[in-house]
Structure 1
Amino acid sequence: MSTNRKPIRKAVFPVAGLGTRFLPATKAIPKELLPVVDRPLIQYAVDEAREAGIEQMIFVTGRGKTAIVEHFDIAFELETTMKERGKDLSVLDPTRATPGDIITVRQQVPMGLGHAIWCARAIVGDEPFAILLPDELMVGQPGCMAQMVEAYNEVGGNLVSVLEVPHEEVSSYGVIDPGAVDGALTEVKGLVEKPPVDKAPSNKIVSGRYILQPEVMRTLETQEKGAGGEIQLTDAMAKMIGDQPFHAVTFEGRRFDCGSKTGFVEATLALALEREDMGAEVREIARRLLG
């Protein structure tokens, strides 16, 4: 097994953001705990990582975010009461972490995504690692990270997940400059953050899932501030192109941008419609509301 094929065992979840777009809902509750139907956003991301064989979840948190860790703890009183009442506890299974599986580090000052990832450098160590942005809810069979790990086992190096969007939307995202295409894999020659529509090298946008080699931490160490006065992950990744293999994986599935209110509502509706226990009823409600 070559050194650049160490298995992906660790995943970093940047969850330090303030969630101001969802105020007042997020005044006392982390936005990552807002539920899409009946599971919080962070749960979808952790489940996706577990499905991909990832063992250790690293949460980069900020002040007021301890509830995220509590969610994955054992709720003794709740479980005891449910047991006494003969209720099924299996609904809580995905929320229980094995001891040592969840590690948190603090990002004291919000200095951007790149800085948040860098905060996890001591735990990541010299291993390749995954990054999942919980705001991006990726729904697929298998999940997005499982698709990426499969691609990583083929090509190694660094990977980002991408989706194709209409050309007029590219200026809202990070976009790849594509090279050779092989099925779902596209060689990445460059990364451009929020390009003007007429300058965008492609319509393949980077969509919140990454597998990176540990060298990115050394790049982030000396990274200067980029767009918005923040330390940008895109800038650090761009510097690694050419030194290590870099590919994009086109995700087979759907993405919901739960960083926006409309995206959040769309995700809730879409996932509710697919549920056996409520789909028909929700469809009826939607019809009635659309009248």
Structure 2
Amino acid sequence: MRNKISSTITKAVFPIAGLGTRFLPVTKASPKEMLPIVDKPLIQYAVEEAYAAGIRQMIFVTGRTKRAIEDHFDTAYELESILEYSQKQQLLESVRNVTPDDMHCMYVRQNRTLGLGHAILCAEKLVGDDDFAVILADDFMIAEQPVMAQMVEQYKRLQKSIIAVQNVPRTQTNLYGIVSGSEVQPGLFGMNNIVEKPLPDEAPSTMAVVGRYILAATIFEELRNQQPGIGGEIQLTDGIASLLKKERVFSYHFNGKRYDCGSKIGYLKAVVDIACSHPEVSGSFNSWLKNKVQSTHAQTTKQNQSDYFA
């Protein structure tokens, strides 16, 4: 029997042991979570989102080739000394702000990549008895109020597991975990089913699970009791389905925009959109982008006219 300690969320788990094969060869020796969105890596955006939600304990489930992430959140004494000596105060502050003084980073190895559920299990001893957040860094999200902060607000009232969802085209249900349920208030649903990657004609809805979760600590028992599936993997979706039989679980249609930075096209869209609003480069980048679009349009029009009169 677990005794929940806190009525809010104080810990976030970041499963980062994946191989990032869709970005090879760049991910051969560098984590995909360190791919930059202009000047900050994906994992830093994810940690900042957790921090903005009041979370201070960051738990990273790592694997081989992930040392760069530990280094990123460590103190870089030599770099800070050089920046301080060179009087580059703004850059110095940006380096120091990566890890605020009241933020604590912990690391645990996932020796074999046996699914998201297995990654969560690896964090059990560090999480303890508290309910906790899970953030997938390659699901890059931007919102006026950070998505995890939205979910923590819901959790403070519900004290139950909450899964972030968004609507997807029915043709894409086979790419996601899909949930169904009844709306209890705008954007919040009491779940009654969750299915991993159903075919479009078998999907119970088009509400897809995306990379933000608040999970009851009771999920660990459900994950331990799951039978491994294809490739010996333990799926988090299966654990949530088991949990749903014993206690209430909610899905939350968040306010914000998601980029699938596990795919090349999603990553490129994120880079362009963030660059368009970045305080340092937005002016020159938007000017370049406008000229690029106009030039491409002119070339396409000229080619179409050439083909027409050929």
TM-score calculated relative to the size of structure 1: 0.95
Partners of 1:72 and 1:97 within 8 A in 2: no
Distance 1:228 1:288 in 2: 48
**For residues 110-259 of structure 1, what are the structure 2 equivalents within 5 Å?**
110-227=113-230, 229-259=232-262
1:278 corresponds in structure 2 to: 281
1:105-137 Cα shifts (integer Å, max 9, x gaps): 000011011000000111111110000000100
Distance 2:273 2:103 in 1: 34
Partners of 1:4 and 1:156 within 8 A in 2: no
Distance 1:90 1:100 in 2: 16
Distance 1:228 1:4 in 2: 36
- Between 1:179-188 and 1:127-136, the stretch displaced more is 179-188
- Between 1:122-131 and 1:87-96, the stretch displaced more is 87-96
**For residues 29-44 of structure 1, what are the structure 2 equivalents within 5 Å?**
29-44=30-45
1:171-206 Cα shifts (integer Å, max 9, x gaps): 211111122341121111110111111121111111
1:20 corresponds in structure 2 to: 21
Partners of 1:14 and 1:133 within 8 A in 2: yes
1:73 corresponds in structure 2 to: 74
Q: Percent identity?
A: 44
1:85-109 Cα shifts (integer Å, max 9, x gaps): 1102221233125487111000001
Distance 2:208 2:78 in 1: 45
Partners of 1:5 and 1:153 within 8 A in 2: no
- Unmatched runs of 5 consecutive residues or more in structure 2: 296-310
- Between 1:209-218 and 1:175-184, the stretch displaced more is 175-184
Distance 2:214 2:174 in 1: 24
Distance 2:30 2:76 in 1: 18
2:60 corresponds in structure 1 to: 59
1:8 corresponds in structure 2 to: 9
- SS of the equivalent of 2:125 reads helix
Q: 1:252: Cα distance to partner?
A: 0.2
Q: 1:264: Cα distance to partner?
A: 0.5
Distance 2:8 2:279 in 1: 36
Distance 1:221 1:109 in 2: 16
Which one-letter code corresponds to 2:43 in the other structure?
I
Distance 2:289 2:264 in 1: 18
1:18-53 Cα shifts (integer Å, max 9, x gaps): 111111111221111110111000000000000011
Matched residue count: 290
- Unmatched runs of 5 consecutive residues or more in structure 1: none
- SS of the equivalent of 1:17 reads coil
Partners of 1:136 and 1:208 within 8 A in 2: yes
Root-mean-square deviation (Å):
1.7
Q: 1:276: Cα distance to partner?
A: 2.9
TM-score calculated relative to the size of structure 2: 0.89
Partners of 2:5 and 2:129 within 8 A in 1: no
Answer with 1 or 2: which has the greater Rg.
Answer: 2
Partners of 1:258 and 1:264 within 8 A in 2: yes
- Between 1:173-182 and 1:56-65, the stretch displaced more is 173-182
- SS of the equivalent of 1:163 reads strand
Partners of 2:138 and 2:260 within 8 A in 1: yes
